[in-house]
A and B are shown apart, each in its own frame.
Chain A
Amino acid sequence: MSVLEKTRAPEKPAVAREPRVTDEHGRRVRVGELVLRYVLLLAVLALTIGPFLWQLSTSLKGPTEDIYSSPPTFLPGDPTLHNYARVADTIPVWDYALNSLKVATANVVTNCVGSALAGYALARLRYRGRRVATLAFILAMLVPVEGIIIAQFTTMRELGLNNTLIGVVLPGCIGAMNVLLMRNAFLNLPYEIEEAAFVDGANAWQRFLRIALPSVKGTLAVVAIFAFMGAWDDFLWPLIVLSDPSKFTLTIGLNYLHGTFANDERLVAAGTIIAVAPLIALFACLQRYFFRGVGEGAVKG
């Protein structure tokens, strides 16, 4: 069971040679190739964010505009925020968004702390039962979640945490996948630095906090984004755990819209944009850290 160990990329050989004309780091690229690259990039761009833009455009079209026309009209003739106002009239969007934000933030904190600690224990500390612990996380990753949701709820009720936001956060608060990601990031750090600290008498906690953790900030950013996304996007679990409408999250609210106005594409479109926009904004802000995390070799396994 060593998927993650096995696929660690080989160490970069430390050969320094004069670089050639091609490749990377702002070195000159031929014009033809550059044009080709941009054309391809734009094509993929159209495929990946086109659907979101179409949704945005639909949400901005007024009630008189035909949304089924052929050929399609890409830009709303008379853009209006009317549909967004109707969403806010129908469900308390801001309250739900605040709940989603609370849940997502808590999930980010617990996942970052919990998976960093556990990942460090799996990667760096040596003790009896480490393999079993690793296996437990790998198995947890393979469990089909759809089959265990009622059993999860029963457990939560026994703990008296049903109908609380804590109950929403708890099952996913330290994701197995995130633990394995962190473990991998720690494994990829050169051991020598920590060893020096060890010789200096630093204990496990000090080594973790002062040396290991600062070197995997990027991976933490990745875990943070995954955790935020996971909590923000989840529907069925919050629905099952929560009863009190004042505690509902945004995805449940979105479902109200879909259930009540299924025939109204414009309104549903506005709802989806409300649900997705904060995530895109968050990602846009964090992407620098995120890609740095990637550079550190966080996700590569």
Chain B
Amino acid sequence: MRISRRAFAAAAVAVLLPLSACGSGGDGGGSSDASGKVEGDITFQTWNLRANFKPYFEGLIAEFEKKYPGTEVKWVDQPAEGYADKISADAAGGTLPDVVNVSPDLVAPLAKAGLALDLDKAAPQYKKEYLPGAWAGHRIPGMTGTYAFPWYLNTGPLFYNKTLFKEAGLDPEKPPKTYDDLFADALTMAGKSGGKVATLANVPTIEDFGRYGVPLMNEEGTAFTFNDAKGVELLTKYKELYDAKALDPQALTATPESSGKKFLTGAVAMNPGSALDLGNFKKQAPSLYKNIGITDQITSTGHVNMYVMGVMVNSQSKRKPAAVAFAHFVTDAAHQMSFAKKVAIFPSTAGSLDDPYFTKEDGTDETRVRVAAAKSLKTAVNYTPVLFSEQMKIALRNEVAKALQGKQSPEEALDNAVKECDRLLQQQG
């Protein structure tokens, strides 16, 4: 009955270590060879698209299965919340689907763990079909290769509330075009309304720093650099706005949903959005809709920010030829185009943005927003570094908040944020 304590400890370690090791995702990636016959069952996972686009995807899959007899695609969709947790559990448990809808920041850790197929090796022939910037969107600093097909892009204008502009004595037909205008208008707005109406609802995020022209990372992608003079300048400005209540006092706890709600209820005068939101405004706040002005994203760089979605192929997939074929099928020009016509997003395939759908105005607001966005997308940048993890976002957000509250100077805040992000970056390995 009596076992020595040491023996017990040794046994426990022996039992447990395999468990910890099996979280690894295996042997640093299977082969990147994706040639062979397109056949077999594959699983395709999307991110919160079923609720709105079920018929589209069912049609897409039927078409694929018809084109490649002997294939069967199983479509699974996951809710918005907990998506990273879901992928982590699957990656750690070896149950990642064959084809996965990802964003660049999700691809990076998967690629590092050898779970994402390098398309430069496995499918270089498709590279030319996509916008060069979009194809490069799933490259990871410090690694060679591209780890996901670019899928849809999104960007959008700034919406503003004309009534609130008028009440503050600002010209509702002349929205701010530069950062200086924006800050000046915001201060006017706050002053005239006695601090009741804020212009901005969100604290600056990493893409705001990028848009302001702050260099975010060094060339090699080994360290963050957004604590330079330009970064400090932006944060100092935001602090001024916060003190004057031109930045919503609740910005420190705001989420995209809550700031959208504030814009809808007229507590905040400007809000970034997309063509998608325009439809929502029309439905939910018809009275506001009439007074909504639309203007371009403000940047110091001349390049607007865009969000990139990708489709990744699991490098451990047993049906790599089918998986690659399907990932390409989902993201090819024809299918991106038909998806773009279903919802206000933009294709990442070369030439698609020159389609009349994205260039011809017809007088409606939706079209106007779409045409302007498509035009700006040609030079748009995904400012968020692919290595910028969820933990880093929170670190930056919290340091920025402390600066706005006056608990530390903007310099200190950004120095601390860079230090913390660098540390997290190193630990990502």
Indicate if the CB atoms of B95 and A157 lie closer than 8 Å. Answer: yes
Interface residues of B in 72-112 (CB under 8 A from A): 74-82, 85-86, 88-90, 92-95, 97
Query: Once bound together, how far apart are the Cα atoms of A149 and B93, in whole Å?
Result: 12
Indicate if the CB atoms of B97 and A243 lie closer than 8 Å. Answer: yes
Q: Give every chain A residue within 8 A of B82 (Cβ-Cβ).
A: 235-236, 239-240, 255
**Option from B79, B95, B257, B261 in Cβ contact (under 8 Å) with A243:** B95
Indicate if the CB atoms of B257 and A239 lie closer than 8 Å. Answer: no
Indicate if the CB atoms of B92 and A153 lie closer than 8 Å. Answer: yes
Q: Does B50 contact A (CB under 8 A)?
A: yes
Q: Given contacts A153-B92, A162-B93, A245-B76, is CB(A240)–CB(B85) below 8 Å?
A: yes
Q: Given contacts A150-B88, A150-B89, A239-B79, is CB(A264)–CB(B48) below 8 Å?
A: no
Q: Does A68 contact B (CB under 8 A)?
A: yes
Q: Does B406 contact A (CB under 8 A)?
A: no
Q: Given contacts A154-B22, A239-B86, A264-B284, is CB(A259)–CB(B81) below 8 Å?
A: yes
Q: Give every chain A residue within 8 A of B77 (Cβ-Cβ).
A: 245
Interface residues of A in 138-197 (CB under 8 A from B): 149-151, 153-154, 157, 162-163
**Option from B80, B92, B94, B95 in Cβ contact (under 8 Å) with A259:** B80
Q: Does B280 contact A (CB under 8 A)?
A: yes
Q: Give every chain B residue within 8 A of A239 (Cβ-Cβ).
A: 78-79, 82, 85-86
Query: Once bound together, how far apart are the Cα atoms of A258 and B80, in whole Å?
Result: 9
* Count of chain B residues near A, Cβ 8 A: 36
Q: Does A135 contact B (CB under 8 A)?
A: no
Contact code string A227-239 (vs B, CB < 8 Å = 1, else 0): 0000000011001
Q: Does A33 contact B (CB under 8 A)?
A: no
**Option from A236, A243, A258 in Cβ contact (under 8 Å) with B76:** A243
Indicate if the CB atoms of B79 and A255 lie closer than 8 Å. Answer: yes
Q: Give every chain A residue within 8 A of B92 (Cβ-Cβ).
A: 150, 153-154
Q: Does B52 contact A (CB under 8 A)?
A: yes
Q: Does A215 contact B (CB under 8 A)?
A: no
Q: Give every chain A residue within 8 A of B86 (Cβ-Cβ).
A: 239-240
- Closest B residue to A260 by beta carbon equals B51
Q: Given contacts A153-B89, A239-B86, A240-B89, is CB(A260)–CB(B80) below 8 Å?
A: yes
How distant is B118 from chain A, measured CB to nearest CB, in Å? Answer: 25
Query: Once bound together, how far apart are the Cα atoms of A91 and B49, in whole Å?
Result: 11
Indicate if the CB atoms of B51 and A90 lie closer than 8 Å. Answer: yes
Indicate if the CB atoms of A256 and B261 lie closer than 8 Å. Answer: no
Indicate if the CB atoms of B50 and A245 lie closer than 8 Å. Answer: yes
Q: Does B189 contact A (CB under 8 A)?
A: no
Query: Once bound together, how far apart are the Cα atoms of A157 and B74, in whole Å?
Result: 19
Q: Give every chain B residue within 8 A of A263 (Cβ-Cβ).
A: 257, 260-261, 264, 280, 284
Query: Once bound together, how far apart are the Cα atoms of A243 and B82, in whole Å?
Result: 12
Indicate if the CB atoms of A153 and B93 lie closer than 8 Å. Answer: yes
Shortest beta-carbon contacts, A-B, top 5? A259-B80, A262-B257, A157-B93, A255-B79, A153-B89
Q: Which residues does A use to contact B, with CB under 8 Å?
A: 63, 68, 90-91, 149-151, 153-154, 157, 162-163, 235-236, 239-240, 243-245, 252, 255-260, 262-264
25 A-B contacts (beta carbon < 8 Å): A149-B85, A150-B23, A150-B92, A150-B93, A153-B93, A154-B19, A157-B95, A162-B93, A235-B82, A236-B82, A239-B85, A239-B86, A243-B76, A243-B78, A245-B76, A255-B80, A255-B81, A255-B82, A256-B80, A259-B81, A260-B51, A260-B80, A262-B257, A263-B261, A263-B284
